Amino acid sequence: MPDVLAASDDPVFGLHRVLDDACHATRDVGLDDDALLRMYRELRRLRLLDEKMLLVQRQGRIGFYGEVKGQEATPIATAFALDRDDWIFPGLREGAAMLVRGFPLATYLAQCWGNALDVQKGRQMPSHFSGRAANQVSWSSCIGPQVPQAVGAAMAMRARRAGSIAVGFCGDGATSEPDVHNALTFAARFKAPVVLVCQNNHWAISVPCRAQTAAPTFASKAVAYGIPGVRVDGNDALAVYEVIREAAARARRGDGPTFIESVTYRMGAHSSSDDPTRYRSNDEVAYWAQRDPVERFRRFMAARGLVTEASDAALLEELAAEIQSAIAEAERHGPPNRDGLFEDVYAELPWNLREQRDALRAAEPAKSH
Ligand SMILES: Cc1ncc(C[n+]2csc(CCOP(=O)(O)OP(=O)(O)O)c2C)c(N)n1
Ligand SMILES: [Mg+2]
C-alpha cells in the first residue's frame, strides 16, 4: 500500500502535515503548553466517550450510536481553531466540537436518549449533537445538506455584519451529493465567509472513497470552483488546527471560502448498525491503526515532556469518572414533555394542531404536562 500520509507541499494533491513520522512537530503552530494539554484531554475524552457509549448501545440503553474513532483530530482541532461565536455545521462525526466549547457533557449525551435533558426535545436520531449555546447546528441525517446550510448561515452573518464565520462538514461520500456541488458553487461565487471540510475517512458505509470520484483527490475539486483547496493529514491535530485557522482567517478577512480535505480513516464501524469486516480488510485497518491520531498526539506530547505514563493513567482515570457520571446523569431523565410535539414551528398554533394537542392532553393528561 502506498504511504497515504506521506508529506508533500502541493496544496491539493499533496498533504499538509506538522507532525513527522516520529511524531515530532516540524514547526510551532502557536499553541502554548496549556492549550496543547487541553487539546490532548479533548482527544482522549472523545476516544473514551465513544468506547463507553458503544457499550451503552450494545446494552440496549440507547438505540443507535455513531463512533468517531480515528477521526477525533478534525472536530477537536477545528473547535480550537475557531472563535467562540463561529457557527459549526457538523456531519455525522464532528458533533463533539461543541464539547470543546464547554457544552455540558451530560446534556450532550442526553441527545442519545432523546429525553427531557436533551435540548433537541427528542426530535432527532441519536448522535446528532447540537446546541444553540455552543453555536452548533445538528446535522440532518441526509448526507450533504449541512454544507449549503453552513454557506447560507455564513452569508447571513456577513449581511448582519456579525463578524463570525461558519464551518460546514461532509464526508467523502457526501461529495457525490448535489448539495455539496451547489454549496461550493454558491460559496465561491459569493465569497461566503465559510470553511468547508470534507473528512475523507476512506469509506461511505461500504463504498470506498475511490468509487466516489474520478478526481485524484477531493481537495483538487476546489480548483474548478475557483477557491483554494487544501489536503491535510486529518490524523495530525496540529496540521488540522493550522489549516482551519488559516482558512478561518481568510474567510473573516472577506477573501472567501476554502475547501479542505482532511485525510483520515474511520477505524470503527460506520455506526452501531454496521459490520465493517464484511467489506474491508484487516490489513487496511492495521495500516491505519499505526497512524492513530490520538496515539500520534500522545507521542508528540510525551516527547515534549507534557505527558508521562503516570500522568496519562491519571488522566484516563479522571476521564472515565467524568464520563461515567455524565452518562448516569443523562440517563436518569424521563421522556420529553409531549406538548413539545407542538412547539417551535408556529408562532401561533393553527386550529388543527390545537385540536390535536388538546386531544393528546385529554387522552393522557398526566404525561402531557
Ligand atoms: C441523501 C442520503 N443518501 C444516503 C444516506 C444513507 N447514508 C447514511 S451515512 C452514508 C454514508 C456517508 O458517507 P460519508 O459521506 O463518507 O460520511 P461518513 O459516514 O464516512 O462519515 C449513507 C450513504 C443518507 N443518510 N442520505
Ligand atoms: Mg466517509
For a mutational test of ligand 1's pocket, the pick from 205, 206, 213, i.e. the residue with the most ligand atoms closer than 8 A to its C-beta, is 205
How far apart (Å, rounded) are the C-alpha atoms in residues 168 and 347? 29
- Ligand 1 neighbourhood includes 92 CB (under 6 angstroms): yes
- Ligand 1 neighbourhood includes 201 CB (under 6 angstroms): yes
Which ligand lies nearest the alpha carbon of 93? Answer: 1
- In 107-239, DSSP assigns E strands to 166-171, 194-200, 203-204, 207-208, 229-233
Indicate where the chain has its CATH 3.40.50.970 domain(s): 33-336
- Ligand 1 neighbourhood includes 76 CB (under 6 angstroms): no
How far apart (Å, rounded) are the C-alpha atoms in residues 86 and 193? 10
Q: Give the Å distance between the CA of 173 and the centre of ligand 1.
A: 6
Q: Taking the CB of residue 188, how many other CB atoms lie within 10 A of it?
A: 21
| Whole-prediction pTM | 0.95
Q: Give the Å distance between the CA of 264 and the centre of ligand 2.
A: 9
Q: Taking the CB of residue 57, how many other CB atoms lie within 10 A of it?
A: 21
- Ligand 1 neighbourhood includes 205 CB (under 6 angstroms): yes
Q: Which three cell numbers stand for residue 2?
A: 502506498
Active-site residues, by number, are 266, 270, 279
- Ligand 1 neighbourhood includes 139 CB (under 6 angstroms): no
- Residue 3, classified by CB atoms within 10 Å of its CB into exposed (0-12), middle (13-18) or buried (19+), is exposed
With beta carbons less than 8 A apart as the criterion, state whether 174 and 198 touch: yes
Cα atoms found within 13 Å of the Cα of residue 77, Cβ hemisphere only: 28
Note the CATH number of domain 33-336.
3.40.50.970
Residue type, 56: V
Q: Which three cell numbers stand for residue 156?
A: 447571513
How far apart (Å, rounded) are the C-alpha atoms in residues 32 and 49? 26
Q: Give the Å distance between the CA of 321 and the centre of ligand 2.
A: 32
CA 110 to chain centre: 17
Q: Please choose, from the candidates 71, 25, 86, 72, the residue with its C-alpha nearest in 3D space to the C-alpha of residue 249.
A: 86
- Ligand 1 neighbourhood includes 141 CB (under 6 angstroms): yes
Atom of ligand 1 nearest to the CA of 205: 11
- Ligand 1 neighbourhood includes 172 CB (under 6 angstroms): yes
- In 244-358, DSSP assigns E strands to 258-263
Which ligand lies nearest the alpha carbon of 66? Answer: 1
Q: Taking the CB of residue 283, how many other CB atoms lie within 10 A of it?
A: 8
Q: Give the Å distance between the CA of 204 and the centre of ligand 1.
A: 6
Atom of ligand 1 nearest to the CA of 142: 26
How far apart (Å, rounded) are the C-alpha atoms in residues 59 and 205? 23
Q: Give the Å distance between the CA of 26 and the centre of ligand 1.
A: 35
pLDDT tens sequence for the chain (369 residues): 667 788 778 999 999 999 999 999 999 999 999 999 999 999 999 999 999 999 999 999 999 999 999 999 999 999 999 999 999 999 999 999 999 999 999 999 999 999 999 999 999 999 999 999 999 999 989 999 999 999 999 999 999 999 999 999 999 999 999 999 999 999 999 999 999 999 999 999 999 999 999 999 999 999 999 999 999 999 999 999 999 999 999 999 999 999 999 999 999 999 999 999 999 999 999 999 999 999 999 999 999 999 999 999 999 999 999 999 999 999 999 999 988 999 999 999 999 999 999 999 998 765 544
